Amino acid sequence: DAGVIQSPRHEVTEMGQEVTLRCKPISGHNSLFWYRQTMMRGLELLIYFNNNVPIDDSGMPEDRFSAKMPNASFSTLKIQPSEPRDSAVYFCASTPGGIGPAGVGYNEQFFGPGTRLTVL
């Protein structure tokens, strides 16, 4: 079975340009997560979706970032305009979803290979 698929794997762009990162979750998974990883801040959750609906976007840095999930098999993370401080590895992850005892999410998340973004 295919894992989480992300594209592109590498993106180099100039400041001010629009960047779109793409993710295809594992088929049948109903929760999708976008993370950003930097040396300074580690792994940060940006936003996550349940059944294509955004649940928590409190980690989205600012209005320049937006994410959509138009259907169960596709999500995008867009940065417009991009800035050098957006340079990072962006991961997408999916999980079968489901809530365990007392409303706690218990499924492990399966991560894609990441997109390494460099903004010059």
Partner 1 sequence: AQKVTQAQTEISVVEKEDVTLDCVYETRDTTYYLFWYKQPPSGELVFLIRRNSFDEQNEISGRYSWNFQKSTSSFNFTITASQVVDSAVYFCALSGQGAQKLVFGQGTRLTINP
List of residues contacting partner 1 (CB under 8 A): 31, 33, 42-43, 45, 48, 50, 55-56, 89, 91, 93, 95, 97, 99-114, 116
Give the nearer residue to partner 1 in terms of CB position, either 54 or 81.
54
Cβ burial, residue 39 (10 Å; 0-12/13-18/19+): exposed
Instruction: Enumerate residues 6+ apart whose C-beta is below 8 A from 36.
Output: 43, 44, 46, 88, 89, 90, 91
CA–CA dist 115, 106 (Å, integer): 26
CB of 115 to partner 1, least distance (A): 10
CB of 81 to partner 1, least distance (A): 26
Give the nearer residue to partner 1 in terms of CB position, either 3 or 16.
3
Give the nearer residue to partner 1 in terms of CB position, either 81 or 107.
107
